[in-house]
């Protein structure tokens, strides 16, 4: 019996060593989840890193966030509804198929096919036409200055997978095929996905001999694996554990700014004390955010004055946070008729807001209570929170939210929070709406920047939100790797090299 057992176990152990073993140039990433979907038109943020390894897009952002050519070598605006892209020649997919304008068109067709769930959302694309073998026109509803930036998310799949725009994405999911630096090897749902380098990548093959994303849901366990050498990379290190990682002799942390704005938006469209601008300003005066960041977040966050972050188009450095002034807050409250205090219903989810979110909310609530503002904290499960904001819009007048800024442009976040009909917008101000609209369909970047800059002044005056901070990304990276963080927070291992 024992020998029979051993006969069974030995190959198992061998397999395990073979798959997770640390041959010199393997990269194992400890990931929260893998999104479990690798169709570019369907995949979720959880699989974004993985898809980025397997697929290239028409354009790409360099680590600093600047727009660069990728599968498209160049692009130009032909008329107000048309962008023309010149496709790179000689690019092949992992299965040997070749890239050309026709293949790009098939992918764009799929993007605009209604039942692909993530298809064309916010992309303004209406279709595409082949001009010649390596030139393609992409049509938009109106002039779209951001289309080349949005094209960083147009991941191109192999022709055999995209031929039929109506097909479901089962085939895609079983074996995704792109032109990216890594090709698909194996996906074990719930455990790992394994990729190998694609030797014929147009931008040169990556240095790694394999790239595995292992699912480790618990972040403390991710860290334990990192400092024991079980994985080479983790996405989130708690500030308090930075020293532990750096002194482990195996790994170090890499810190960079995130492009996620954390904030507390207010609803003006429902009856509540928050309809009074003085109450909103009082809230802004009553929170000592610096103390919260310094203590609760160990300083690993930057306070923000509006959701537009530094470095983003139209960022207005003149717009500052309301200073911490509880006396002023009380004064404003009294003026608004709430000398005896005011109660505000507040929604949040432990799953939204990242690092120490529940603690930060309680610290804010405590500070507000000292100024006479009682925040009634309602804890919501993630799906219910999303539902209340994006779905039936029944969220309470104040809620904790976050939004990622894409390609250093504020269009998406400002539409999301301030437009009429924006998914997390409950402001309903026609003037703001007109300004946003004017900036969205505008090819003059200087003019756009000016509009966004003016808007931020307005947001501050009106105190439409309690802006919080953007957190630092703290990555844990094996000492064997030389890895560069990206402004957009995506994990990219195509250019990662090894320390020898």
Binding residues among 221-280 for other proteins as defined by CB under 8 A: 221, 223-225, 227-228, 230, 238, 240-241, 244
- Cβ atoms of residues 81 and 143 within 8 Å: yes
Per CB under 8 A, does 154 bind other proteins?
A: no
- Cβ atoms of residues 39 and 107 within 8 Å: no
Structural element, H or E, at residue 162: helix 159-162
- Interface with other proteins (CB under 8 A), residue total 84
Q: How far is the CB of 104 from other proteins (least distance, A)?
A: 22
Q: In whole angstroms, what is the distance from residue 487 CA to residue 66 CA?
A: 9
Among 54, 71, 87, 215, binds other proteins (CB under 8 A): 215
Per CB under 8 A, does 394 bind other proteins?
A: no
Q: Which of residues 2-41 bind other proteins (CB under 8 A)?
A: 9, 12-13, 15-16, 20, 33, 36-37, 39
Q: Which of residues 50-109 bind other proteins (CB under 8 A)?
A: none
Q: How far is the CB of 396 from other proteins (least distance, A)?
A: 11
Site string for other proteins, 338-357 (x = CB under 8 A): -----------xxx----x-
Per CB under 8 A, does 216 bind other proteins?
A: yes
Q: How far is the CB of 20 from other proteins (least distance, A)?
A: 7
> Can you give the three-state secondary structure of 367-429, one letter per residue?
HHHHCCEEEEEEECCHHHHHHHHHHCCCCCCEECEEEECCCCCCHHHHHHHHCCCCCCCCCCC
- Tell me which residue of 163, 161, 148, 157 sits closest to 180, measured CA to CA: 157
- Cβ atoms of residues 41 and 118 within 8 Å: yes
- Cβ atoms of residues 76 and 84 within 8 Å: yes
Q: Which of residues 112-141 bind other proteins (CB under 8 A)?
A: 114-115, 117-118, 121-122
Q: In whole angstroms, what is the distance from residue 333 CA to residue 283 CA?
A: 9
HSE-up of residue 25 (Cα within 13 Å, Cβ side): 14
Per CB under 8 A, does 203 bind other proteins?
A: no
Burial code of 166-201, b = ≥16 C-beta within 10 A, e = fewer?
Answer: eeebebbbebbbbbbbbbbeebeeeebbbbbbbeeb
Among 379, 445, 447, 482, binds other proteins (CB under 8 A): 379
Among 53, 151, 344, 361, binds other proteins (CB under 8 A): 361
Q: Which of residues 450-489 bind other proteins (CB under 8 A)?
A: none
Per CB under 8 A, does 309 bind other proteins?
A: no
Q: How far is the CB of 335 from other proteins (least distance, A)?
A: 28
For residue 241, what are its two tokens?
A: 């554990």
- Which of these ranges, 91-99, 175-183, 418-426, 473-481, lies near other proteins under the rule CB under 8 A? 418-426
Cα dist. 118→40, 48, 122, 196 in Å?
Answer: 9, 13, 9, 27
Q: How far is the CB of 442 from other proteins (least distance, A)?
A: 18
For residue 26, what are its two tokens?
A: 């393997």
Q: Which is nearer to other proteins, 115 or 499 (CB)?
A: 115
Among 203, 387, 442, 450, binds other proteins (CB under 8 A): 387
Per CB under 8 A, does 364 bind other proteins?
A: no
């Amino acid at each position: 019996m024992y020998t029979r057992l051993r006969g069974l176990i030995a190959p198992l152990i061998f397999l395990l060593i073979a798959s997770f073993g640390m041959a010199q140039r393997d990269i194992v990433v400890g990931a929260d989840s893998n999104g479990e979907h690798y169709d570019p038109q369907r995949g979720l943020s959880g699989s974004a890193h993985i898809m980025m390894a397997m697929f290239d897009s028409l354009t790409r952002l360099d680590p600093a966030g600047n727009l660069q050519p990728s599968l498209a070598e160049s692009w130009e605006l032909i008329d107000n509804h048309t962008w023309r892209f010149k496709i790179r020649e000689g690019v092949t997919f992992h299965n040997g198929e070749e890239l050309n304008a026709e293949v790009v068109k098939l992918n764009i067709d799929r993007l605009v096919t209604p039942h692909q769930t993530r298809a064309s959302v916010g992309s303004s694309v209406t279709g595409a036409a082949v001009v010649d073998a390596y030139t393609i026109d992409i049509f938009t509803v109106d002039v779209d200055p951001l289309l080349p930036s949005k094209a960083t998310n147009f991941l191109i799949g192999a022709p055999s997978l995209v031929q039929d725009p109506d097909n479901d994405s089962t085939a895609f999911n079983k074996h995704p095929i792109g032109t990216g630096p890594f090709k698909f090897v194996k996906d074990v749902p719930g455990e790992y996905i394994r990729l190998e380098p694609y030797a014929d990548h147009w931008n040169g093959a990556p240095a790694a001999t394999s790239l595995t994303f292992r699912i480790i849901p618990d972040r403390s366990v991710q860290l334990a694996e990192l400092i024991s050498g079980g994985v080479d990379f983790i996405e989130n290190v708690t500030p308090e554990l930075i020293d532990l990682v750096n002194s482990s002799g195996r790994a170090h942390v890499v810190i960079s700014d995130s492009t996620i704005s954390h904030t507390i938006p207010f609803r003006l469209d429902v009856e509540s004390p928050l309809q009074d601008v003085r109450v909103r300003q009082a809230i802004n005066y009553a929170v000592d955010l610096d103390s919260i960041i310094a203590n609760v977040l160990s300083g690993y966050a930057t306070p923000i004055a509006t959701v537009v972050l530094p470095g983003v188009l139209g960022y207005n450095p003149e717009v500052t946070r309301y200073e911490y002034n509880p006396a002023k807050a009380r004064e404003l409250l009294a003026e608004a008729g709430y000398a005896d205090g005011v109660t505000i219903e507040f929604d949040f989810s432990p799953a939204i807001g990242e690092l120490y979110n529940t603690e930060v909310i309680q610290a804010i609530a405590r500070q507000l209570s000292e100024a006479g503002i009682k925040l009634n904290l309602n804890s919501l499960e993630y799906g219910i929170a999303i539902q209340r904001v994006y779905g039936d819009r029944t969220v309470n007048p104040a809620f904790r939210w976050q939004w990622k800024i894409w390609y250093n442009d504020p269009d998406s976040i400002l539409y999301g929070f301030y437009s009429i009909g924006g998914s997390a917008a409950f402001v309903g101000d026609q003037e703001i709406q007109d300004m946003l609209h004017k900036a969205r369909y505008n090819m003059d970047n200087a003019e756009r920047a000016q509009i966004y800059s003016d808007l931020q002044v307005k947001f501050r005056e009106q105190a439409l939100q309690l802006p919080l901070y953007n957190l630092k990304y703290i990555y844990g990276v094996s000492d064997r790797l030389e890895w560069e963080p990206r402004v957009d927070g995506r994990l990219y291992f195509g250019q990662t090299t090894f320390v020898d």
